[in-house]
Structure 1
C-alpha cells in the first residue's frame, strides 16, 4: 500500500468517508470560528490566503453538501463528534442538519487564457465571470446529486423583483438551472478552445455574451432530502486563484466584492497572487490596498493561514491537528494496524544516547581548560555544578555531556558578571557575580544547541519537534513525517523495533529538509536560498557564543517595523524575494514584535531551513539588523 503520508488528503482520498477519517477540526477552530461568530464568514467576500499545502482545499471540501451529509450520517461516532461541533460553530451545520451548500471551482483550468483573447477587457471579464457562475451552479447541483438527492428535489429561492434575471438563468427548478448552466458553459468553452478566437461579431449573444447572472438572483437552495426540506446557504468556493493573471485577479476580486450578492463567496489563494505590499505590510499600513470605492476592512474578510497573531496558541493548535492527522494516517497502514501501533509519537524516542567516550573526554578537557583560562576557583565550579545538578534532577536530560555543556555556558556567564580584576586574583579568592547564575531552561537549551554543533548530539527528535518543523503547514509536516514513517515501516518488515532513536530521527529529518530546499523551484528561489543561508550563518555564529546569550540561539533577523514597512517602496526587488520566501515556507513573517521598547518585524526561518542549518525552533531569539543587511547578503558573491 502507498504510504498515505506521501499524499495530500485531497488527492489521495476520493470518497467522503475516507476523507473525513483523516480530517481534524483544529484548523477550522483556529482560522474560521472567530469570523463565523462575528458574522463575517458568509455575508461578504472572504479571501483565504495560505502557503502551498496549508490545508485551504481540505477545509473548503468540508463545506460541500455531500461531505456534510456524510459526516452527519456518521454522527454519534467519537471520531466525528468534534468535527461536527466545530462545523456547527462555523455555521455549516444547524441543529444537526446541513446549513450550507458549497460548490468548489478550481481556477487552474483555462481561465487565464481569457486574458490572452483579442477582446476588450470588459468582454474578457464578462466571459470569465459568466463561465465561473455557470460552473459554480453545476458544482452545487452535482454536489447535491452526489449525495443521493435527485435533481427533481432541488429548487432555488430567488431574490424578489428578479423575474427577468431568473428566466435568464433557467428558472427555479434544479433541471432548468442545470440545462441553462450547461448551455452557457458550452458556448464559452467553444470560444476558449478555438485555435483562433472568433471575431466579436461571431460571439453568440444568446449564449456566451448573454446576461447570465445567477449570483445576483439566487438567495438560497431548497433541497428535499428524505422527509425534510432543507434551506441551504449557497457558498461559491473559488480555489487556486493565484493561477489567474494579476490584472484578471483584480477584476475578479472587484466583481466578487459587490455587497448586493446573496451568494457567499470564498476565494482561496496562495500568497503568489498578492502584491509584495499585501504580503509584507499590515493592511492598515498600505494606503493603496483598497480598490477605488472598496474598503477592504468593511466589505471583505481575509483569513491568513500563516503564523501571526497569537503564535503560541497557533503552534499548540497545529500540534494537536498534526498529531491527530498523523495518527489517522497511521491507522490506514496495515503493517502498523496489525501490531496495534496507533500513535506516531510512540514510535519517536525522546531519550538521547550518550556521546562516545572519546568525545566525552574531549569535552571534559575543554571545560577544564576554560576553568584554568579564567581562574575559576574549585569552590566556584562546585557551586555551579550543584546549580546544574539541581536543575537537571527531574528534567530527563541529565547526562555527563549535558552537565559539562551547561557548566561551560555558566563559566562564560560568570566571567561576564564579575569585575575584570577578579579574574586575576589568587585562586583562593572568589568574586561574586553582579547577577545570580541560574541553570535555567535557556541555559539547558543553549547547551543542547552547542552539543549538536560541536559533538553531533541529536537535537531534532520527538513528536512536538516534528510538528513544529512543519511550520504550521500540513503538507510540509506530512513530507517530513513520511520519511520517519517509512523508516519505521522498514524496521518492522525486518522484524526490528518500530521505534526510531533520537539520532535516527535527527538524521532523517535533516536529510529530508535538505532535499526539500534543493527541490525549491518557485520564482526567485535562488535569491531566497541565498537569503536563508545568510540569515542562518549569522544566527549560527550568535547561537554558538560561549555564554549562549539567547539561550537556544537565534533563528531570525529583526528589522524595525517602520523601516521594514518601507521595503516595498524603497526596494521592490527585495520585497518580491521576501514575498516568495514567505509564500513557500522559507520564511515566516512576525510583525509587531515588541522588544527593548521598540517594535520589530521578525524574518524567521521556516522549518526546512532550521533543520538544514541546525538552528533552534524556540521562538523569539533574533538578531537586530537593517534592510541594508538583507541587501548586502543578496549582493555577496554577485557581480
Structure 2
C-alpha cells in the first residue's frame, strides 16, 4: 500500500469510511467548541481562516451530512467515540435516547473550480454576481437533496422545506416546497447558468434567459428541511460551507461576504479561506475581526456579525502546541494502521517507530569535550568548591527532570556553558587579582540549571560534535509549526524508512541519528520547494533571521539557553509596517500565509513590548536552531529591510 502520510486524506481517500478512519477530533474541540457553546457558530456567517494544510477542507468534509450520517451508521461506532463526542460538543449532533440526531444538513462547495470565471463574463457587476449567487444556491440545494436521498435513503417526496417567517412568497421561485419540485427547479437553474459560464462566446446580456436571471433565493427563504422518516418528522437546519473562497476575485469575495452576513438569512453558512485573502494588517496584527474583506461602504460590523476563527492563532501558543501534539499523534497512529506492513508487526503507534535513547558521542569526542571543560576550568581559575557545586546542580536537575537524555556528554556540555557564564560574572583578571567582592557577587547570582540550559547543551553538541537533536515524536510535531500537512510531510520520511527496515528484516525503530538526518534533509527540501507569491523575498528574510539566530545560539555562554529562532521588533515599529512599508508587509503576509513564518503580535520582555517574527519548523530544523519558543534577537524594521536588500 502507498504511504498514506504522503497523501491528503480529504482529497485521496476512496470513501467516507476510509476518511473517518484517519480524522482526529481535536481540531473541533480546539477551534469550534467554544463558539458553538456561545451560540455564535451557526446563526451568523462564520469565517474560518488558515494556512495551506491547516485542516480547513478536512473539517468541512467531516461536517457534511453524508459524512456524519456514515459515522453514526457505522456498526463499530464505539471506535469513533471521541469523534462523536466532538461533534456533539460542537452541536452538529445531539443525543436522543440510545441514538443520535443530526441537527445540520451540511454541504461543502469547493470554490476553486469555475466560480471565479463568472467575474470575467462581459456583463454588469450586478448581473455577474446575480448569476454567481443563483449558481451557488442551486448547487447547494442539489447537494442537500442528494445527500438526503443517498445517505438517509429517503425519497425526495418525503422532504419538505420550512420557510423562515415572512418568506413564504419565495415558494414559486423555488419550484415548490417538496423535495422533488425543489430538485427539478435547482437543476434547471444550475444547467442554465452553467451553459452561460462555460460558453465559448457568452450570450449577450439581453439573451440570458428567464431561468438564469429570474428570482431564485433559497438561502434567504429556507429555515429548515422537514424529513418524514420511519422515526417520525425531523427538522434539520441547512448548512453551506464554501471552501477555498480565496480563489475568488477580491470584489467577488467582498460582495459574497456582504450578502451572506445578513441577519435575516437563517441557514448556517461558513466561508473557509487561506490567509492570502486577508490584508497584511489583518495577518500581521491579528485583527481579522475588524479587517475582514467587506466593502468600504458596508455597514457590516464584522466583530458583531461575523464569527472569525483562526486555525493558527498567536494566542495561547503553549496550549496550542500541546493540543497539536495530541492531534498529530492521533492522526499518525490512524494513518499507520492503514499500512499492512506495520499491522503485521503489531505496530500501531507512530511514536514506537522513533527510538529516543540517544547514543552518547564517541569516546574520542568525549575525551575532547572532557579536556575542553578541564582546560576552561583551569583557565578561569574556578575554585574546586564552585566547580563541584556546578556538577552537583546538574546532577540534581537530572534527578527530577522528566527526560531520559541524561548522558555524560550532555552534562559536560552543560558544565561547559556554566563555566562560560561564570566568566561573565567574575571578571578574569588573574588568579590572585580577584577580590572577595567579585567572587561573592558571582555566587550571589546563582547560575540557573534547568531545561533551558540542557537545551543549550544539546544545541552545542549538535553543532560541535554532530550529536542528534531532532528526534522523537515531539520534535516532529514541534517542527510542523502546528500544521497538519507539514507534519505529514516530515513524518512520511520516517515512515518510509521504518517500512524499509521491516522489509529488510531489521527492527522498525529508527535510531535518533537516522531520524535527525531524515528530518533535516526533508526540512531542507520543503524550504527549497517553496513556490508562492514573494517566496524569493521570504526565503531571503528567513535565511537572514536563521543566520543571525544561529550565531547567537552558538555563543559559548548560551545566553538564550537553546538559542533564538525569531526576531523581535518593538511593537510600536511593527504596527506601522503595513502603512509605512507596504512591500515588507506583503513579504511578511505571504510568509505567514504559506507556513514560512509566524507572528506573535505582542510579547512583554525586559519591560518592553515586542512583536515576534518566528521562523517555521522546517526553517528551524534545516538551520539547526532550537525548537523551543521564546528566544529572539532584538532588531528593528530597518534590519528587516536591509536583509531584503542584500543579494
1:464-543 equivalent positions in 2, closer than 5 A:
464-543=474-553
User: Following TM superposition, by how much is the alpha carbon of 1:391 offset from its aligned partner in structure 2, in angstroms?
Assistant: 2.2
Q: 1:423 to 1:252 in 2, by over 3 A?
A: farther
**Aligned residue for 1:408?**
416
User: Following TM superposition, by how much is the alpha carbon of 1:161 offset from its aligned partner in structure 2, in angstroms?
Assistant: 3.2
**Aligned residue for 1:571?**
581
Q: Does 1:99 align with 2:109?
A: no
Q: Is the 8 A contact 1:409 1:447 kept in 2?
A: yes
1:157 to 162, 184, 189: 162
1:32-111 equivalent positions in 2, closer than 5 A:
32-74=32-74, 77-95=77-95, 96-111=100-115
**Aligned residue for 2:346?**
340
Stretches of structure 2 that go unaligned for 5 or more consecutive residues are: none
**Aligned residue for 2:331?**
325
Q: 1:108 to 1:288 in 2, by over 3 A?
A: closer
**Aligned residue for 1:212?**
216
After superposition, the C-alpha distances for 1:80-112 in whole angstroms (9 at most, x for unaligned) are 112111111111002221000111111011111
Q: Does 1:296 align with 2:298?
A: no
User: Following TM superposition, by how much is the alpha carbon of 1:290 offset from its aligned partner in structure 2, in angstroms?
Assistant: 5.7
* Local SS of the residue matching 1:232: strand
1:190-269 equivalent positions in 2, closer than 5 A:
190-204=195-209, 206-269=210-273
> Distance in 2 between the 1:287 and 1:83 partners?
33
Q: Does 1:457 align with 2:501?
A: no
> Distance in 2 between the 1:182 and 1:423 partners?
92
Q: Does 1:133 align with 2:137?
A: yes
User: Following TM superposition, by how much is the alpha carbon of 1:376 offset from its aligned partner in structure 2, in angstroms?
Assistant: 2.4
**Aligned residue for 1:447?**
457
* Local SS of the residue matching 1:448: helix
User: Following TM superposition, by how much is the alpha carbon of 1:131 offset from its aligned partner in structure 2, in angstroms?
Assistant: 0.7
Q: 1:527 to 1:76 in 2, by over 3 A?
A: same
After superposition, the C-alpha distances for 1:112-137 in whole angstroms (9 at most, x for unaligned) are 11111121111111111111111111
After superposition, the C-alpha distances for 1:29-86 in whole angstroms (9 at most, x for unaligned) are 0000011011110011101001111111111122211111122223774421121111
> Distance in 2 between the 1:492 and 1:145 partners?
46
> Distance in 2 between the 1:290 and 1:232 partners?
30
What is the number of equivalent residue pairs in this alignment? 636
Q: Does 1:397 align with 2:402?
A: no
1:181-196 equivalent positions in 2, closer than 5 A:
181-196=186-201
Stretches of structure 1 that go unaligned for 5 or more consecutive residues are: none
Q: CA RMSD in A?
A: 2.0
TM-score by length of structure 2 reads 0.95
TM-score by length of structure 1 reads 0.96
Q: 1:444 to 1:463 in 2, by over 3 A?
A: same
Q: Is the 8 A contact 1:349 1:502 kept in 2?
A: yes
* Local SS of the residue matching 2:105: strand
> Distance in 2 between the 1:48 and 1:238 partners?
10
> Distance in 1 between the 2:428 and 2:374 partners?
20
* Local SS of the residue matching 2:477: helix
After superposition, the C-alpha distances for 1:11-44 in whole angstroms (9 at most, x for unaligned) are 2223221111111211000000011011110011
**Aligned residue for 1:174?**
179
> Distance in 1 between the 2:581 and 2:642 partners?
13
Q: Is the 8 A contact 2:426 2:438 kept in 1?
A: no
Q: Does 1:349 align with 2:349?
A: no
After superposition, the C-alpha distances for 1:574-596 in whole angstroms (9 at most, x for unaligned) are 11111111011111111222222
- Residue range with higher mean Cα deviation, 426-435 or 309-318: 426-435
Q: 1:287 to 1:45 in 2, by over 3 A?
A: closer
1:12-51 equivalent positions in 2, closer than 5 A:
12-51=12-51
Q: Is the 8 A contact 1:32 1:90 kept in 2?
A: yes
> Distance in 1 between the 2:481 and 2:627 partners?
10
Q: 1:284 to 1:229 in 2, by over 3 A?
A: closer
Q: 1:504 to 1:287 in 2, by over 3 A?
A: closer
> Distance in 2 between the 1:132 and 1:531 partners?
41
User: Following TM superposition, by how much is the alpha carbon of 1:172 offset from its aligned partner in structure 2, in angstroms?
Assistant: 1.1
* Local SS of the residue matching 1:131: helix
> Distance in 2 between the 1:423 and 1:245 partners?
73
> Distance in 1 between the 2:129 and 2:301 partners?
22
After superposition, the C-alpha distances for 1:514-562 in whole angstroms (9 at most, x for unaligned) are 1111111111111111111011111111111111111111111111222
Q: Does 1:306 align with 2:316?
A: no
User: Following TM superposition, by how much is the alpha carbon of 1:283 offset from its aligned partner in structure 2, in angstroms?
Assistant: 2.3
